[in-house]
Every structure is written in structure tokens, then in C-alpha cells.
Amino acid sequence: MMTKKEQRLRRSRQTRARIAIQRVARLTVFRSNLHIYAQVVSEDGGQVLAAASTAEKSVREQLSGNGGNVAAATLVGKLIAEKAKAAGVEKVAFDRAGFAYHGRVKALAEAAREAGLQF
């Protein structure tokens, strides 16, 4: 039997393969119990073009409570979109890394869309 983490990673591999064909930068999300992290990775999978997370000092100062909630994810979504656009990235593929498109992951995605990222 596979562990919960192994199941998530198996799901994420299929997504990565699909995104690789699109030849577009990908917005990757990782969520832990305490924090949520987002990175924009270049299409060749080489460089991290932009990164944002609730573990950053500037983000933590804006949060009331911990980084493991929908409000925090929304904040990170806006921030990653701003940083990506500053790095010259407009279009991305959303890589939820095997996490369900629900709750914090969904909040981050919708905030990034509203802030002007296209995916």
C-alpha cells in the first residue's frame, strides 16, 4: 500500500508530464500544515523565476495567525502573480503537485488569476 505522500507524488508526475508538452512556465504549489509555497519555474524546468510563501517575513507580518489558511493562500497567490509579472511571465500552467484543487490550493490559484496571471 502506498502512503498518502507517495499517492500525491504519483499524481503530480502525470501533471508534470502534461505541462512539459505545453512548453510554458509552471506555477507550482506546495502546502504543508503550517505554510503554503508557490514557485514559477521556467518552461525548460531549469530556473525558479519567482517564489512566494507564507514563510517569508514580509508575508508573515501581514497575516493574522498562521500561514495554513485560505486567507494566507490568497495573499501568496497575489504575491506570486506580482513577482511573476515582474519577471516577465504572463502565462503559466498551474501545477497543483497532486494536491486537490480545493481550499488553500484553489484560493491561491484564484488569487493569482485575479492578479493577472493567465492559466
Q: In 10 A of CB 10, how many CB atoms? A: 11
Q: Which domain covers residue 42, as residue numbers?
A: 4-114
Which ranges constitute the DSSP H helices of 3-90?
Answer: 4-22, 57-62, 70-86
> What DSSP state is assigned to residue 108?
H
pLDDT of residue 57: 94
Q: How many percent of the chain have pLDDT more than 70?
A: 99
Q: Which three cell numbers stand for residue 14?
A: 502525470
Establish if 119 belongs to a structural domain.
no
Predicted structure pTM score: 0.93
Query: What is the domain-level CATH number for residue 36?
Result: 3.30.420.100
d(CA 17, CA 3): 22
Q: How many residues in the chain?
A: 119
pLDDT of residue 66: 87
d(CA 42, CA 45): 5
Establish if 106 belongs to a structural domain.
yes
Establish if 46 belongs to a structural domain.
yes
The structural domain count of the chain equals 1
Give pLDDT tens digits for 15-25.
Answer: 999 999 999 99
Give pLDDT tens digits for 36-63.
Answer: 999 999 998 789 999 999 999 999 999 9
